[in-house]
Structure 1
């Protein structure tokens, strides 16, 4: 059974697996430890991950990025309009969700954000399976802490469509905190003061700060604050805008009118930013950017810091918010741990260090810490792995309230209640009590819509409670509903039941004094007194109440349809890959056979056979580069068989000769080995004979001297 953690990023995705008594980050098909979070569409198949990145510039309108930030959103959301600046494919409305319109298999197709994420997760699944040589099913995946219920449900649906079981959706900084804490052996005990660590994650598009308290065997998130539009891509955009203005003035070209040129400048800006993180200055050179114009310029680190100063001025905001929410001061924080690629920017590190007044810590791998934490979480949740017990107490980021219609029989009844407050521990379960005589409904929504990202609908779900009726005395039914905010951060009303007030007898506990205690060795002479009881009113569960839930999750039929469509596309991709493999195999075979017929196979073929084979090779090669360039797998196989029909007998003669020579060489080697064995045996026998002769000689010498012949020395007279 596989245990996989996935850091699903805006730019790249990192996959980690638990194995070999630890956690490893696995590489993809081109040996990279991070896979581009991209989905592309072509005339024959899709491009997922690395292939999508390879063809991005030549296929901009059909390549979709920022997959995570599109899931569960609507087209009119201001945040989605921001994403359109970074997504080259046109974003459209698909049944109320944002999606992308692309050309796939020669036809215009629209795919929702959920479907696009499921396509990429299929790639994650195949990459992990190829590395582990096992089928992959269970994963834990990271999400930004600010994701809402509808966004989280969208990712859950996407995983299910891709054939994955999502054991947990884990907040990014919580995953990093788990990876940090589970390996530490020096955490304070329950009686000691907890260790407080600020985890700061600045990635491609998000800036998050979480204050986490550690004790032996557990972590507790005290607060989380974030800036949803602060990350590496915003630094890149500042550079691109500067370079666009410079190129327009210096070279009279406007890259904003040319999407391909704009993408190339974005790539150059990202590379420049990374170089300037380690150097004081760096050049920018792009050949034939547009209109056959080569561009070149120089940028200093100081110049970059001036460009991004508006961003750097916002660096303290999430830090202050996190401390305020946790009711802590800067001096209360013991360690400041940084993760995320953008934390390599020197100016940003400097601002964060000045804010805390402490040296920053980089003990975690900045690019892989979150994926490793997810893999640890997956191992904890998996029954297969034995992991050190480590409790995770995350928090609710948005307050959630329930509303309902007022009962006509209870005129002064409240119609709303905030059930989960911001900062409450998650996962969490609350029991709601209602007095009703007939079925009723209640709705869950976010209590403070102004806190939500963009214009996300605060509505979470509607829950209809069935089977409610008045009792025989026309009195209320006492209805109990179990509302649960689960470990994914998703809300559900999981269970409904009704209770009745009943009188039950319960024993009254007796406290005996020491002098009244019986001697254990004394004999019982009196009958034991009957224990005293009392009657108390208790609510006794009498039956279940069916609940019909209406949420933003896809219904089973829609998920089944999407899963079937995904399977069909996977098969299409596989067929195209297999066809391309057979085409390359045929091309390689042609070149290989052409070389061998005049070299290795020359003496094994007649001139007539050589002529026919060369003619066939030339004919197939011409066909391959003409109408055969876009043929089917079966035709490539048949063309290969045609060549093999002519080349087979020649190759067989060659292999027969090789086998004959091999057998002859083997016979010679065996004869030499037998001869060596005979010589060795003869030498051994000679040595044994010599040893026996020497022993006989020693015995003969011993027999010539008899004991009675030995004279005693004469006594001195």
Structure 2
């Protein structure tokens, strides 16, 4: 079974796809040979369907209301969120508040208006990214790892998992951007310190288009540990671009009396030009011009801005970056001297002032070891490879931390608060599990929420009810153990719960049960466990030892002495006492599982099913539209291709009158495609193409027959010549064919005469054939006759001669007496073989100086 190993980085402006191959991690390109996929999704009216990424971005100007961009920060948020209201001002779409308080985009789709949530739009984008990955890999993509900003809360993370499930993806992990970047950096390092040595501390600064994330990560051989991480969701490249846009809006109002915000298309054009200007200023210190033709009311506008002016306009944003870096060092477990290097990623780190501030605060030169754009996708693909059984990857542990503490509040039966505790403090490592102990007489109701401020209005994670719980037999509280967990996605959940009761059982029975059940302590792999001690709300370790063990042993010794004494007095072998008849009892702990009912906002199974059906309906519609457009393009391509060929290679194969009629038909079809045939059904285009091919195929047949006819005739003629030569050899009594019978020779003569006549008829018809008329003989017909001739004659021509048996060799008579004994196999071989070396036959020949002279 082939397993997919894919990582998705869904950014504010661009998305990247990383896949694991045998040679490492590769960032794949899309159908436009681009590695970055713009975060745009367009919904078209009039049967246009959906457009994704680059194609959606290219139609932004013509379909501005139904092309969505910048929806990633909106996922899992409410309409009334102050941060959302700030973001909505920069968007050009129709956005409305839903009944449940969520955000809704009103777009035109398939000649009607529909309302989509940010989760729906994100799932549409994930479907496209999944399709791109499948086209590159060659098989279906199911498992993946998706990056999210580290400040995403529980509700936003569940929204991302919801969008992925809607797109048909199984998320192995929602990975924080900072952890993904750190993994991409550290897994290839061969010189990391050993596990017990001091970690190499690297600070990663990621300034993206929408936010800034900084994290300090310690590296040891085989693991990384996030020491501290912070983020600013309102500090990114687009915020710098907004300062430039606002400046020119004011300037254009003064110079040209133009209100840019009154027209969405004009505001979008200015936004695009300001983004280009920002990138140009990063590489140039001189003043850069900005010119837009026919901007509004047929007015051409122009302006200028330099780097110093830009830095002055964005002074407060740069100070926010400085404050964020200083906050990273404040109350940290490390000092500035402990930092070994600073790695910068993200498109906005290319702004020179950002680099200057980073170096001033952290006292280190910025390093660009990692690719500024696709390092997050590489880290996600690596994490997916680590989690996938299909790849063997170097073991590398990732210890990430939660961004806010999580506390639990439990309630009394009357609804009042019974108590609270912080189960996970800020900066706690995850994934992690804890076992909590409660003493209750009724169902346990818990509410989880964030104990520190977060950039989200939804501070309550959810409510959980554990039950049914009843008092103990003596009326006391029942001991309840609850397992809470922050999983690999950084999602909090109450994983399981059970009651703990003690009962008295006979020792023998208890041993049998132990042997039968084979009790073992449960331990989940890859899951950290911790216990909290507390009198009422923590974990209380139960001792398995017997508190009265010493007294019981003393009592047993006295009992044995009494029995021995009775044996001596009564002379009995054994005394069966009342004490011995009673079975020995032992206290046994029994665990009864409890049901945990979770109550969290949104994303129920019913909502997931509805969203999945809606997405699949859109996918089916997209496929139909794609097939329809392909059929339309086929007709259009055929019209242009045939028109060109009629003036070149096909010109001789159609009469002038027929050519004029057919060209007129092609022109009518072309006009129809851009008028009435603009949005027809697929079958209409198929029928139109078939109608054109009725004439076009006949012309192409004449051309193809003319090109191949002479070659086919030459092949048939070569076969006839070959057989004629064989007949000549037979007539001259050639020994090569003297084994052929008279019947074989007669067959060759008849078939030669028969097919010679056929060949002559073909040649006469070919000579009289006019190019613009339908063919009289076809290449297929000529080849068929050649095959018939070969099947009849070649088996005779190639018939092999019968083998002649050689005469038998007479056996030699055996030799007798001493002659037979003298001749041995070795001697016989030596006598028939000449010496290979002259020196061996004559020793004197080997060295002439060794001869003796008189």
Give the distance between the partners of 1:550 and 1:327, measured in 2 at CA.
Answer: 37
Pick aligned residue for 1:122 from 127, 132, 142: 127
Give the distance between the partners of 1:670 and 1:363, measured in 2 at CA.
Answer: 71
Distance apart, 1:468 and its partner CA: 1.9
| Larger RCO: 1 or 2 (CA < 8 Å, sep 6+) | 1
**Helix, strand or coil at the partner of 1:566:** helix
Name the counterpart of 2:644.
Answer: 595
> Residue 296 in 1 paired to residue 297 in 2?
no
Change (3 A) 1:634 1:460: same
**Helix, strand or coil at the partner of 2:229:** strand
Name the counterpart of 1:239.
Answer: 244
Deviations, residues 109-132 of structure 1 (Å, cap 9, x unaligned): 111121111111111111111222
Name the counterpart of 2:197.
Answer: 192
Give the distance between the partners of 1:201 and 1:668, measured in 2 at CA.
Answer: 78
Q: For structure 1, which segment, 23-32 or 604-613, has the greater mean C-alpha deviation from structure 2 after superposition?
A: 604-613
Name the counterpart of 2:97.
Answer: 93
**Helix, strand or coil at the partner of 1:61:** coil
Name the counterpart of 1:38.
Answer: 40
**Helix, strand or coil at the partner of 1:154:** helix
Change (3 A) 1:220 1:666: farther
Give the distance between the partners of 1:103 and 1:187, measured in 2 at CA.
Answer: 55
Aligned residues: 645
1:68-87 equivalent positions in 2, closer than 5 A: 68-87=72-91
| Native 8 Å contact 1:403 1:443 kept in 2 | yes
Name the counterpart of 2:494.
Answer: 493
Name the counterpart of 2:144.
Answer: 139
Name the counterpart of 2:439.
Answer: 435
1:647-686 equivalent positions in 2, closer than 5 A: 647-661=696-710, 663=712
| Native 8 Å contact 2:15 2:38 kept in 1 | yes
Distance apart, 1:297 and its partner CA: 2.5
> Residue 619 in 1 paired to residue 668 in 2?
yes
Change (3 A) 1:503 1:397: farther
Name the counterpart of 2:226.
Answer: 221
> Residue 4 in 1 paired to residue 9 in 2?
no
Pick aligned residue for 1:326 from 309, 313, 332: 332
> Residue 314 in 1 paired to residue 316 in 2?
no
| Native 8 Å contact 1:157 1:553 kept in 2 | no
Give the distance between the partners of 2:340 and 2:671, measured in 1 at CA.
Answer: 71
Name the counterpart of 2:613.
Answer: 564
Pick aligned residue for 1:366 from 360, 366, 372: 372
State the structure with more CA Rg. Answer: 2
Distance apart, 1:661 and its partner CA: 4.8
Deviations, residues 672-704 of structure 1 (Å, cap 9, x unaligned): xxxxxxxxxxxxxxxxxxxxxxxxxxx9xxxxx
Change (3 A) 1:482 1:629: same
Give the distance between the partners of 2:186 and 2:256, measured in 1 at CA.
Answer: 54
Change (3 A) 1:304 1:631: same
**Helix, strand or coil at the partner of 1:403:** strand
**Helix, strand or coil at the partner of 1:239:** helix
Deviations, residues 635-670 of structure 1 (Å, cap 9, x unaligned): 011100101112112212222222335557889999
Distance apart, 1:560 and its partner CA: 0.9
Change (3 A) 1:39 1:128: same
Change (3 A) 1:541 1:27: farther
Name the counterpart of 1:382.
Answer: 388
Change (3 A) 1:479 1:668: farther
Give the distance between the partners of 1:536 and 1:299, measured in 2 at CA.
Answer: 90
| Native 8 Å contact 2:80 2:101 kept in 1 | no
Give the distance between the partners of 1:626 and 1:392, measured in 2 at CA.
Answer: 60
Name the counterpart of 2:209.
Answer: 204
Change (3 A) 1:662 1:204: farther
Q: TM-score, normalised by structure 2?
A: 0.72
> Residue 17 in 1 paired to residue 19 in 2?
yes
Q: For structure 1, which segment, 360-369 or 466-475, has the greater mean C-alpha deviation from structure 2 after superposition?
A: 466-475
Give the distance between the partners of 2:351 and 2:710, measured in 1 at CA.
Answer: 66
Change (3 A) 1:298 1:206: same
Distance apart, 1:201 and its partner CA: 0.5
Deviations, residues 444-489 of structure 1 (Å, cap 9, x unaligned): 11123xx1114x2211111121232234333332221111111111
Change (3 A) 1:184 1:283: same
**Helix, strand or coil at the partner of 1:74:** coil
Pick aligned residue for 1:544 from 593, 608, 613: 593
**For structure 2, which runs of at least 5 residues remain unmatched after alignment?**
508-543, 547-583, 721-833, 835-841, 843-851
Give the distance between the partners of 2:116 and 2:299, measured in 1 at CA.
Answer: 37
Name the counterpart of 2:461.
Answer: 460
| Native 8 Å contact 1:497 1:541 kept in 2 | no
| Native 8 Å contact 2:485 2:492 kept in 1 | yes
For the aligned residues, what is the CA RMSD? 2.7
Distance apart, 1:406 and its partner CA: 2.4
| Native 8 Å contact 2:407 2:420 kept in 1 | yes
Name the counterpart of 2:571.
Answer: none
Give the distance between the partners of 1:379 and 1:538, measured in 2 at CA.
Answer: 48
| Native 8 Å contact 1:153 1:553 kept in 2 | no
Give the distance between the partners of 1:17 and 1:268, measured in 2 at CA.
Answer: 34
**Helix, strand or coil at the partner of 2:108:** strand
Q: For structure 1, which segment, 556-565 or 304-313, has the greater mean C-alpha deviation from structure 2 after superposition?
A: 304-313
| Native 8 Å contact 2:413 2:442 kept in 1 | no
> Residue 477 in 1 paired to residue 460 in 2?
no
Name the counterpart of 1:67.
Answer: 71
